[in-house]
Amino acid sequence: MKVENVIEVIELTKTFGDFTAVNAISFEVKKGEIFGFLGANGAGKTTAMKMLIGISKPSSGTAKVAGFDVFSQTESIKKNIGYMSQKFALYDDLTVKENITFFGGIYGLTRKKIKEKREQLVSELGLENISNKLVGSLPLGWKQKLSFSVSLLHEPKIVFLDEPTGGVDPITRRQFWEMIYKAADQGTTIFVTTHYMDEAEYCDRVSIMVEGKIEALDTPKKLKEQFKVDSMNQVFLKLARNIE
Amino acid sequence: MKTIGYIIQKEFKQIFRNKGMLPIIFILPILQLVILANAATYEVKNIKFAYIDYDHTSSSRALIEKFNASTYFNVLTDFPSPEKASSAMLAGEVDVVLEIPNHFERNLLKEKTADLSITINAIDGAAAGVESGYVNQIVQSFNQDVKMTIMDTSKKAVQPVTIEGIPSFWYNITLNYKTFMVPGILVLLVTMITLFLSGMNIVREKEIGTLEQINVTPIRKSQFIIGKLFPFWIIGMGLLTIGLILAKVIFNVPMVGSLLLLYAYTSIYILVILGMGLLISNFTDTQQQAMFIAWFFVVIFILMSGLFTPIESMPRWAQIVTEFNPIKYFVEIVRMVLLKGSGLMDILPQLWKTLLYAIIMNGLAVWSYKKVN
């Protein structure tokens, strides 16, 4: 049985003046897959992701996300994806519940559905006691988990996570990945960028971007075999060094 | 529609939760109105007056007594020499110095004429003009007195015919400056608060990163913008209401015209300002930048609005520039409606221009707001 592709990218490029941030990248992501999008700082991960979520216009190439074109159908894409940016982007001056209500509201969920989701989410995250507290007063780890849950509110087909675990302690990172697995089990495709190579091992497939190009793309196991090393960390270092 | 509701709800929560901003929105404008209305006046009072009397006669003393009796002049001192007077003026201790020469009385009586020397600090030209006018009035009235006494002692001359105009002041009979200024200052605070708030609001979301989060949702540009600006429209109308109540209660400003008409006009006017604020926040990346640009426009708009200086006395090119100044129209309207009782037909030209302005501004703002870069 052939699994459908939810993301198809062909020769996607983004230039800023003379600088090519993303240089003709091509890849597919399958439905329900956890796809790791790796690369050093400034390799072009975030720029590539922004093109896929429809907030940055590609310079050339083609890409389809959830079956919609990134040039002409960005608003349809947005209905079908969730996004969690590397910068915490919920409202610090609203409470946990108010944030959930607001984002549910602008995704067009019904009042009933919002209420349902709100209760479900608060109990799943164990936030019952602080659901009426301002989000700004929560520890970072909790904020990130809340942020991820909010990006799943409207039950998107694909969720894009841009360095979701930056600055978070190992225990919370573990819990975070458990949440990611749960979402993937329910059929949500996960597109995640990260710096942590141990997290790369959790992904079904990873791509490694170096200076705007995808230099490697496969399952973590095959990549390690290909580069004859025994951790993703070494794969990454080998790739990055070769280029330099 | 429902989406807009969620945004409005969120905005109001954020506004009323921001303990730093609330006083700025509601208390500062009130202070501004009360303080500015009392301070921003063209009336020149308490002029610091000094004199040098070389004559020391009853005539010279009578003249000085006239100044003393005037409510506009504070007669401070007499100086023994012009040098002393000049250094006092340098130090800012006196504004006007009257020098009465030797033989002042003798010349008056014998030659029927005498010279006086008046020195006025004219750094503030407008004030100096007014001061000179007051001095002349007093000297004129002294002249009349002298004529009477001279005529009594000399032959009965034919009294010259004098023509006198009796002005009748309309709309502001008592020439009360507060009546003139308070409506204008009301315009100022409605404008400033709504412009700053709307200008900084969206930029703030850019800064904290939530705008990006909004941009990846399927929300429509128009929904987002309406939801964003509506709360500030309400605040603007609320400020107008507070201002009008204060104007009535504290300053007893006459409200001759239709308040409904004033509200109708203001509701369109605020759209212009909100559109402008949004436009500013679309082209800036930080609240600081937005604030500076907003200030730049506000200062020009205020100085060229006819609020403090009449537009009629500006050079021709400046008058043309004021055609693009929304504050000018609002200042005109608020004075026309409140003080003159102008009706819809009277304010129609300004109303059309403001409406056109609102459409253009908001059109530009929506067009330049980009969900995709």
Q: What is the DSSP string of A82-137?
A: EEE-SS--S-TTSBHHHHHHHHHHHTT--HHHHHHHHHHHHHHHT-GGGTTSBGGG
DSSP code of B21? H
Residue B87 shares a structural domain with residue B196? no
Confidence of residue B11 (pLDDT cuts 50, 70, 90): very high
Query: Out of B3, B10, B214, whose CB is closest to A94?
Result: B10
Contacts of A164 in chain B (CB under 8 A): none
- pLDDT digits 0-9 by tens, A8-20: 999 999 999 899 9
Tell me whether residue B138 is in a domain: yes
- Domain end position, chosen among B91, B118, B153: B153
| pLDDT for res A39 | 86
Flag whether B165 is in a domain. no
B216 and B141 within one domain: no
Among B153, B182, B205, the domain boundary falls at B153
Tokens 């006459």, residue located: B254
pLDDT tens for each residue of B158-176:
555 556 666 676 776 666 7
Compute CA distances A96 → A92, A102, A109, whole Å: 9, 10, 17
- The percent of residues above 70 in pLDDT, for chain B, comes to 92
**For residue A50, which residues of chain B lie inside 8 Å, CB to CB?**
373
Residue in B2, B210, B373 closest to A91 by CB: B210
The Cα-based distances of B293 to B196, B208, B304 in angstroms read 10, 20, 17
Kindly state whether residue B167 falls inside one of the protein's structural domains.
no
B54 and B106 Cβ atoms separated by less than 8 Å: no
- B7 with B60, same domain: the answer is no
B122-151 pLDDT, tens digit each: 888 778 888 888 888 888 888 887 777 766
Residues of chain A whose beta carbon is less than 8 angstroms from a beta carbon of chain B are 50, 53-57, 74-76, 78-79, 81, 83, 85, 87-94, 98, 101-103, 105-108
Within a domain: B361:
yes
Instruction: Verify that B276 and B200 share a domain, yes or no.
Output: yes
Q: How confident is the model at residue B333 (pLDDT cuts 50, 70, 90)?
A: very high
**Residue B1 confidence (pLDDT):** 72
Mean pLDDT, chain B, rounded, equals 86
Taking any CB pair shorter than 8 Å as contact, residues of chain B touching chain A are 2-3, 5-7, 9-10, 13-14, 17-18, 208-210, 212-219, 371-373
Q: Which of B13, B208, B372 sits opposite A55 (nearest CB)?
A: B372
Report residue A236's pLDDT band, with 50, 70 and 90 as the boundaries: confident
Task: Supply the pLDDT for residue B357.
Answer: 94
Is residue B55 domain-shared with residue B188, that is, in the same domain? Answer: no
Instruction: Quote the minimal CA–CA distance from A236 to chain B in Å.
Output: 30
Residue B94 sits in the same domain as residue B208: no
- The answer to whether residues B27 and B59 belong to one domain is no
pLDDT single digits (tens) A146-187: 999 999 999 999 999 998 888 888 898 999 999 999 999 999
What whole-number distance in Å separates Cα of residue A32 and Cα of residue B282? 38
For residue B160, is it within any domain?
no
Query: For chain A, what is the mean pLDDT?
Result: 90
- pLDDT (tens digit, 9 = 90+) per residue, B271-320? 999 999 999 999 999 999 999 999 999 999 988 888 888 888 888 998 99
Q: How confident is the model at residue B355 (pLDDT cuts 50, 70, 90)?
A: very high
Last residue of a domain, one of B103, B123, B153: B153
- Per cent of chain A over pLDDT 90 is 56
The pLDDT value recorded for residue A131 is 87
Asked whether residue B350 falls in the same domain as residue B224, the answer is yes
B166: in domain? no
Do B261 and B354 fall within a single domain? Answer: yes
- Say if strands A205-210 and A34-39 run parallel, antiparallel, or are unpaired: parallel
Alpha-carbon distance A150 to nearest alpha carbon in chain B (angstroms):
11
Which of A67, A70, A69 shows the shortest CA–CA distance to A14? A70
B209 and A89 within 8 Å at the Cβ level: the answer is yes
**Whether A85 and B7 lie within 8 Å, measured CB to CB:** no
Dist CA B5 CA B226 (whole Å): 10
Residue A38 phi, psi dihedral angles, 5° rounding:
-105, 160
ipTM of the complex: 0.88
Structural domain harbouring B223: 2-40+174-368
Number of domains in chain B: 2
Residues B205 and B346 in one domain: yes
Instruction: Give tens-digit pLDDT for A43-93.
Output: 888 899 999 999 999 999 999 999 999 999 988 999 999 999 888 889 999
B187-214: average pLDDT: 90
pLDDT bracket for residue A195 (50, 70, 90)? confident
At residue A167, the pLDDT reads: 82
Q: Say if B100 falls within a structural domain.
A: yes
Write the CATH number for B140: 3.40.1710.10
Residues of B in contact with A106 (CB under 8 A): 3, 6-7, 214, 217, 219
Name the residue of chain B whose CA is nearest to A54's CA: B372
In a domain, residue B354? The reply is yes
Q: Report pLDDT digits (tens) over A109-132.
A: 999 999 999 999 999 888 888 888
Residues B357, B303 within the same domain: yes
Using a CB-CB cut-off of 8 Å, the residues of chain A touching B3 are 105-106, 108
pLDDT in the model for residue B39: 76
Closest Cα in chain B to A47: B373
Q: Which of A55, A88, A93 sits opposite B18 (nearest CB)?
A: A93
Sign for the CA dihedral angle at B84, B90, B91, B93 comes to: positive
Contact B212 A79 (CB under 8 A): no
Contact B13 A98 (CB under 8 A): yes
Q: Mutate which of B3, B6, B16 to disrupt the A interface (most A C-beta within 10 Å)?
A: B6
Q: How far is CA B144 from the centre of its chain?
A: 37
pLDDT, mean of residues B248-277: 92
Q: Do both B120 and B260 map to the same domain?
A: no
Probe site for chain B from A106, A137, A157 (most B CB atoms < 10 A): A106
Q: Which residues does chain B have within 8 Å of residue A53's beta carbon, measured at their own beta carbons?
A: 216
* Contact residues on chain A for B372, CB-CB shorter than 8 A: 54-57, 74
Could A55 and B9 be called an inter-chain contact, meaning their C-beta atoms sit closer than 8 Å? no
